[in-house]
């Protein structure tokens, strides 16, 4: 079966950075097994399949696969797939928005200049504190933590997150990946995100994400995880905190993928996560029967 295939870099100013993504068009006749096997073949963090919408009001249906399994929602696949549809002239955001159907429901995506932003699903805190799970303290042992308590946050995805005391605590960390995996499996979560405030800019964070729950050691740039961090900050940080006015995120540098994400808060309290995407490969794929 022939289909159009694109590889894009998401959350980067230039190709070769950010988080790579595979996007397949014309795959409405592919089986679930064929989609999963192709996602394993690309061996990217995620590969998406753009299909005709099923839900009223949706512009398209997006299925998202890691090399190991299908997932309901992720940020960089949402933006990268929307970029392909807009860049190829297949969709037009007449009212400024695209409406993506996925496992998390309808996700809104909007263009702002050269950047695309998605509206993060509404989030809630499920648990707080270093003792919130027996395996959390062991996973974070010997790390200097920040002012905000570690927490389990749910919104489209479920992540543990922890603020570290400073940027170097995050950048220099060599985590115990087996411990993160055990925590993820025991709590039915993706894994652990850690973040710290930038020493150079009060409206900047450095973030690292370890989604061991879906078999990924470290994510170069996670829109969904950053959306949950943004939601967590909106729920627990003081109104005077400069991060509450929006901020910039540096992620992926430790694994050779320097990414830049932008977080904005709308007047209605919504968290919008965005950045720039570049198409690197346009081609065709022959797969399956």
10 Å CB burial of residue 181 (0-12, 13-18, 19+) is buried
Tell me how crowded residue 124 is: count the other CB atoms within 10 A of its CB: 11
Which CATH number among 3.40.50.10860, 3.10.310.10, 3.40.50.80, 3.40.50.720 corresponds to the domain 2-120+275-286?
3.10.310.10
Task: Answer yes or no: same fold for 2-120+275-286 and 124-269.
Answer: yes
Q: How high is the pLDDT of residue 197? A: 96
Q: Each residue of 214-256: pLDDT tens digit?
A: 888 999 999 989 999 999 999 999 889 999 999 999 999 999 8
Residue 213: strand, helix, or coil: helix
Strands 2-10 and 60-65: unpaired
3-state DSSP call for residue 8?
Answer: strand
Q: Which pLDDT score is estimated for 1?
A: 65
Residue 7 has pLDDT above 80, yes or no: yes
Q: Where are the domains of the chain?
A: 2-120+275-286, 124-269
Cβ-contact 135, 175 below 8 angstroms: no
CB 84 within 8 A of CB 25: yes
If one compares 178 and 16, the residue with the highest pLDDT of the two is 178
Q: Name which CATH class applies to 124-269.
A: alpha beta
Write the pLDDT tens digit of every residue in 117-141.
Answer: 999 988 999 999 999 999 999 999 8
Q: Quick check: 153 pLDDT over 90?
A: yes
Between helix 223-236 and helix 75-87 the angle, nearest 10°, is 120
Check whether 166 has a pLDDT greater than 80: yes
Q: What is the pLDDT of residue 289?
A: 66
Q: At 4, is the pLDDT very low, low, confident or very high (cuts 50, 70, 90)?
A: very high
CA gap 198, 143 in Å, rounded: 17
């Amino acid at each position: 079966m022939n289909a159009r295939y694109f590889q894009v870099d998401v959350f980067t100013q230039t190709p070769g950075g950010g988080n790579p993504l595979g996007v397949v068009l014309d795959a409405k006749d592919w089986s679930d097994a064929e989609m999963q096997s192709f996602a394993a073949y690309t061996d990217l963090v995620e590969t998406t399949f753009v299909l005709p919408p099923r839900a009223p009001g949706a512009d398209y249906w997006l299925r998202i696969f890691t090399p190991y399994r299908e997932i309901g929602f992720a940020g960089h696949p949402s933006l990268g797939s929307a970029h392909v549809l807009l860049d190829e002239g297949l969709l037009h955001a007449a009212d400024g928005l695209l409406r993506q159907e996925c496992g998390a429901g309808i996700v809104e995506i909007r263009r702002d200049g050269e950047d695309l932003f998605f509206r993060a699903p509404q989030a809630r805190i499920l648990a707080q504190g270093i003792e919130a799970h027996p395996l959390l303290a062991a996973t974070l042992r010997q790390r200097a933590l920040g002012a905000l308590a570690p927490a389990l946050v749910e919104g489209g995805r479920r992540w543990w997150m922890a603020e570290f005391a400073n940027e170097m605590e995050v950048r220099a960390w060599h985590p115990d990946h087996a411990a993160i995996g055990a925590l993820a499996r025991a709590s039915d979560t993706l894994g652990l995100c850690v973040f710290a405030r930038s020493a150079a800019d009060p409206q900047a964070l450095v973030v690292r994400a370890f989604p061991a729950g879906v078999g990924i050691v470290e994510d170069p740039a996670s829109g969904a995880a950053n959306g949950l961090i943004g939601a967590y900050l909106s729920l627990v940080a003081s109104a005077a905190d400069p991060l509450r006015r929006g901020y910039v995120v540096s992620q992926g540098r430790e694994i050779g993928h320097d990414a830049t994400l932008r977080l904005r808060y709308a007047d209605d309290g919504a968290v919008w996560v965005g950045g720039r995407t570049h198409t690197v490969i346009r081609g065709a794929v022959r797969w399956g029967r």
